[in-house]
Structure 1
Amino acid sequence: MRIFEIIDDEERLNVGTLLYYEKEKDFIIELAEGLDEWNAPLLFTKKVKEGALTIPRDLSKTWVRERVIPSGRQNIGSILSTHRLKEYDEMKLLELAQGRCSQDSLFINKLDSLPNYVLQRQKHNLNDVTVLEENSILCFFADGLVRKVPLETLKEIEKIESVLKNRPLFETCAIGVGGYYLTFNDSIDVSAQLLRKKGKPIPLDYRDFLSFVKRSIVDTTSSCSMLGCSRQNLSYLVGQGQLDPIKENVKGNLYAKKDIEKLRW
């Protein structure tokens, strides 16, 4: 993950933090505390009015794309060649221009670590998710909170009806980068904030626990497939302390799926 602060050059104001997950090529913008509809970027005014300072990945990507040369530009090949880029890369183009745009006075500056307000918010992000029977989702949050969320309570999410009517689509449910959201087929997202709001605290019963175990643990073969690596590579990650098996066996280990997903980020 790469981190950039977003600064208003004219107002000398810290507007927020841009997070870029390189492998997934996803963006998340965390707006600074105290920002209001008058000093927030125009694209995010509605979100700020609603009290939302964490910007979803689709809207965050839109902000980035408004500040870089579009991939369909007629002379894009010449532009990439001039900047010694082998292929179109939104983040590299954004960095080359320091995130500047003729429409406002914002620019970006690279950071080495996450600001404290971002770290505090991430405690409310998802740590893991799994689908249950009767179209419900079991959500584990970074601060230890556990919520059971019936899918029918998420009516404000566009296309959620499609998920309700399509069990194979429902089964694609996975945690998004940074735990900021869960996603179905990597295209229908539900924010961690909404899941916290809609979910109900539950005491885990045995069936839910078994369902969690069944869907959240992967073996060595599946782990290698997810990471696109060999068994030797996986063993190296374990040896280096970058991955901890849930259960070790001479024929292959078992791992938490969330730990494998995080290695992909």
Structure 2
Amino acid sequence: MKIFAVRDEDNTTNKAVAYLFYYEKEKRFYIELPEEADPWETPLILSSFLKKGQKTINAYWSRIWVQQRIVPSDRQNLGMILRDNGLDFYDEYKLLTMTNGRCSQDSYYLEPISEKDIPKEFVKRNQQKVEDVIPLPENQLLVFFRDGCMKKLDLVQLAGTDKRFAPVLRNEKTFRAVNVETDGYGICWGENLCIECGKLYAAGKRVPLNMEEFKCFVRERVVDSAEAAEELTCSKQNVDDLAKRGKLHPIKEGAKYRLFLKSEVMQRKWK
């Protein structure tokens, strides 16, 4: 993961107006806005989220912000531009960092930072990220959060009048294809249909697990070595080695098998 502070050259305080997170393996961007963010100082496309009280920007809109700062993929002379900059293919991250995120339309730029430089306020947000999600009957979702909280949500209520969720609500197979977004930023059905973690945390009703829900968890989120190897695009021997070195932690193992939580396997994939 790469982290950048978004700063404004015209701002004499040199404070970060936003933070950009990039996950190399997933090729996904996420933007976080500080608690004290000012809509007038925040980049225009992001200030609209801030006015609605939203400080975590999903992958779709974070990528839109990035794309506004680099040469577009449909540029007529794109091939020549890539060659002149030593690129073999169109890479949003490399194009962005080559100019430190600067563009002619504003005075914002990117500054690389380390995880220890992230504001402490983000620690609380991280605890509200999604650890796992289980699809239940009747369009219900059981969501596990990093702070140990488990909440039950009704997708019908969550979706409201958003017609994009209609195919998910109508088709049980599609509904059950729900996944956790990269690093727990929310849940999603495909790349563009997502619900961010803060909204899930606020809307969910905290409930204890019952047996049927636990069985759903086991069916949906426990994987064996072969399935873990498929997720990590490696061999079963590599998965066994990760387990022996304490990089993966089996929830159950015997002489000829190991079982893992799918969420831990995915977290290993994101690192």
Question: In 2, are the aligned partners of 1:8 and 1:15 still within 8 Å (CA)?
Answer: yes
1:142 aligns with 2:151: no
- Tell me what 2:47 maps to: 45
Question: In 2, are the aligned partners of 1:5 and 1:110 still within 8 Å (CA)?
Answer: yes
Aligned mates of 2:73, 2:256 — CA distance in 1: 47
Identity rate, percent: 37
RMSD, aligned CA: 1.3
Aligned mates of 1:247, 1:195 — CA distance in 2: 30
Q: How does 1:124-163 map to 2 (within 5 A)?
A: 124-156=128-160, 157-163=162-168
Question: In 2, are the aligned partners of 1:218 and 1:256 still within 8 Å (CA)?
Answer: yes
Q: How does 1:48-197 map to 2 (within 5 A)?
A: 48-113=50-115, 115=118, 116-156=120-160, 157-197=162-202
Q: Deviations over 1:13-50 (max 9, x none)?
A: 31111000111111110012211221111001221111
- Tell me what 1:6 maps to: 6
Aligned mates of 1:158, 1:83 — CA distance in 2: 42
Aligned mates of 1:174, 1:120 — CA distance in 2: 22
Question: In 1, are the aligned partners of 2:60 and 2:192 still within 8 Å (CA)?
Answer: no
Question: In 1, are the aligned partners of 2:188 and 2:194 still within 8 Å (CA)?
Answer: yes
Aligned mates of 1:71, 1:102 — CA distance in 2: 18
- Tell me what 1:26 maps to: 28
Structure 2, unmatched stretches of 5+, are none
Number of residue pairs matched? Answer: 265
Q: TM (normalized to structure 1)?
A: 0.96
- Tell me what 1:263 maps to: 268
- Tell me what 1:217 maps to: 222
Q: TM (normalized to structure 2)?
A: 0.94
Q: Which runs of 4+ in 1 moved over 6 A?
A: none
Aligned in 2, Cα 1:239/1:83: closer, same or farther, shift over 3 Å? farther
Structure 1, unmatched stretches of 5+, are none
Offset of residue 158 of structure 1: 4.6
